[in-house]
Amino acid sequence: MVHMADETTSDRTYRFVNRVFATVFRILRLRITVQGEEHLPTSGPGVIACNHTSYIDFTFVGYAARSRGRFVRFMCKRSIFDSRISGPSMRAMRHIPVYRPSGAVAYRQGLQRLADGELICNFPEATISHSFLLRPLKLGAAALALRQQVPLIPAIVWGSHRIATVDRRYSLRPGKAVSILIGEPIYPAPGDSRESLNAELRTRMAELLDSAIDTYPDQPRGDKDRWWLPHDRSGTAPDPVAGARLDHEGLTRIGELFD
């Protein structure tokens, strides 16, 4: 169990970081909408499974959880914790480092966070999707929820990739819209398998993503600005096959950092 002093320090750091991001959001005049925040529990454990199109998706999931009075513990790649800039705050906020070649340690830490009554967030695509559509999901989020018999909560963030994403695409142009959709929880049953639960999760996330794209209020400013729309929505983002190849190349480069 976590000592009260550790919880106090963690929460204090988390509140400070939340204020910093809230200030950045105001400076950028982001138009953030949250749908379905009532599906996030106000107390007790749960696993949020979110899509991944941007380096800053976690900030928006955390933003959505604030209205429920929750601090989300994120499962993030280990290199963020190794950084002298982000590492101290990530550790202070009790996020969970993930070493991609072997996720056993992160899995055990995730189970402990859930046993402590925490709300954790996993990005089951394991890397940013170049196509901006859902990649195949790893089993981690489903396995954690099934093992601890806690709600598995699908989530989608759309629009964050217009701010910071792969291929060195960054933009601080103000006024962008960011949509956050939280779906109804999936409650695992003891007889469920990780695979069946994961399949249900992907179906729910795909439905939420379609809704997010369909209702997104912004449109491209011209043909050069169609890069952030999926290939089947009049955009110029790679199709899923080409996107998967780019995703693999990106994971390979990350893996080489740990060889």
| Residues of the chain above pLDDT 90, percent | 74
Is 219 strand, coil or helix? Answer: coil
Q: What is the pLDDT of residue 80?
A: 75
- Residue 114 confidence class, pLDDT cut points 50, 70, 90: very high
8-12, 24-28, 74-78: range with lowest mean pLDDT:
8-12
Q: Answer yes or no: is pLDDT of 24 > 80.
A: yes
Query: What is the reported pLDDT for 200?
Result: 98
Contacts for 222-230 with beta carbons within 8 Å, 24 or more apart? 227/169, 228/132, 228/161, 228/162, 229/132, 230/131, 230/132, 230/133
How big is the chain by its Cα radius of gyration, in Å?
18
State the chain's mean pLDDT as an integer.
90
Q: Which residues have CB under 8 Å from 91's CB, separation 6+? A: 81
Instruction: Judge contact between 210 and 64, C-beta under 8 A.
Output: no
| Residue 39, helix vs strand vs coil | helix
Provide the pLDDT confidence category of residue 62 given band limits of 50, 70 and 90: very high
Domain boundaries, the chain: 4-257
Residues 228-250, mean pLDDT to the nearest whole number = 93
CB 131 within 8 A of CB 238: yes
Q: What is the pLDDT of residue 5?
A: 40
Judge whether 111 and 144 are in contact, CB under 8 Å: yes
CATH topology of domain 4-257: Glycerol-3-phosphate (1)-acyltransferase (3.40.1130)
* Averaged pLDDT for residues 8-21: 84
pLDDT for residue 153: 98
CB contact at 8 A, 48 and 153: yes
pLDDT of residue 84: 74
What b-and-e string marks burial along 128-150, b requiring 16 or more CB atoms within 10 Å of the CB?
bbbbbbbbebbbbbbbbbbebeb
CA distance 141 to 96: 13
pTM value surpassing 0.85:
yes
